[in-house]
Chain A
Amino acid sequence: MQMTVVESWIEAPLKRFVVDAGAELALLLHPSGQVLAQHGFARAVDVMSACALAAGIHASSAELGRQLDGRPFRGLHHAGRTRQIFLAEALSPRGAFVFLTVFGQESSLGLVRLYFEELVNGLAAAAPPVEAITGPALAEHFERDLNRNLAVLFGRA
């Protein structure tokens, strides 16, 4: 399955994660829900749904962590019968991203966590210098930007 990225510096660290961790699906997004990279998805609508859900879960779990523990929860793991999901915040010099991955029985949570740490380090090393202060999470051009990113990922740009 092909990997597609909106910004090229993301590709190498993400590709390494997918290979090493044996991930079936991987998604890197802005906390607002804007997609930055995907692996394993076939349709734009699936990416859009997964991004919206991941951003929502991340925001909810962060707030739950703040209320329970005084600081946001950084990671979430859910084990299904045959597949598992891992959702976590990936901090980089370009800001915080949300990372979602789906893995099967060939991998394990331990491996995913291990290679997620390497992914975060890889993204930090590969990130180009910040050019400008990032805008608010829900900027006025959110939908336009979202559609542009999906078009880039699925070859309609």
Chain B
Amino acid sequence: MIARPFASILDGLIRQRWVTAALVVSERDGIVVESNLQIGQSGDRMAALAASLYRKARLSASAAGLGAVSFMQLEAPAGRICAVGGGDLVLVVVAEPAVNVGLVRVEMLRAVGELLAIGGEAA
């Protein structure tokens, strides 16, 4: 049986309307730790690119003296990518344009504590 330590976080996010993928990714490696994806989504590809994007955003914010990145959102014509970090882990959500970003943001920020707690235990 495969352990799914982040199942409650990911299942809660994927239940949100218009959310198509939720992943926990290692920020340093860009590798999927756990994911909940709708059919047709490429988890590995998304994880690698989103983790790279988040890490660069975090480093840019730090270089500009802005402090830690709390929430990152990328808007594209066909949807959005949202990411929050917790330790070495990044929680990534992919959603369609109609998604309620405010709600997703609240859920993701709420999940950071859990991410840190489980990620810290795993490390």
Contacts and interface: CB of A to CB of B under 8 A. Distances in A.
Q: Do A and B come from one complex?
A: yes
Interface stretch (B12-20, B44-52, B101-109): B44-52
Contacts of A113: 44, 48
B25 to A, nearest CB: 8
Residue of B26, B47, B48, B55 with most partner-chain A CB within 10 A: B48
B29 interface: yes
B49 A111 contact: yes
A76 interface: no
B110 interface: no
User: How large, as a class, is the contact surface on chain A?
Assistant: under 10
User: How large, as a class, is the contact surface on chain B?
Assistant: 10 to 19
Contacts of A108: 28-31, 48, 51-52, 55
A110 B35 CA distance: 15
A114 B31 contact: no
B45 to A, nearest CB: 6
A109 interface: yes
A22 to B, nearest CB: 9
Contacts of A114: 30, 44-45, 48-49
Interface string A104-130: 000111110110000000000000000
B83 to A, nearest CB: 14
Interface in B59-105: none
Contacts of B25: 110
A107 B44 CA distance: 15
Nearest to B52: A111
Q: Which 3 A-B pairs have the closest CB atoms?
A: A110-B30, A110-B48, A108-B30
30 contacts: A107-B52, A108-B29, A108-B30, A108-B31, A108-B51, A108-B52, A108-B55, A109-B29, A109-B30, A109-B31, A110-B25, A110-B26, A110-B29, A110-B30, A110-B31, A110-B44, A110-B47, A110-B48, A110-B51, A110-B52, A111-B30, A111-B48, A111-B49, A111-B52, A113-B44, A114-B30, A114-B44, A114-B45, A114-B48, A114-B49
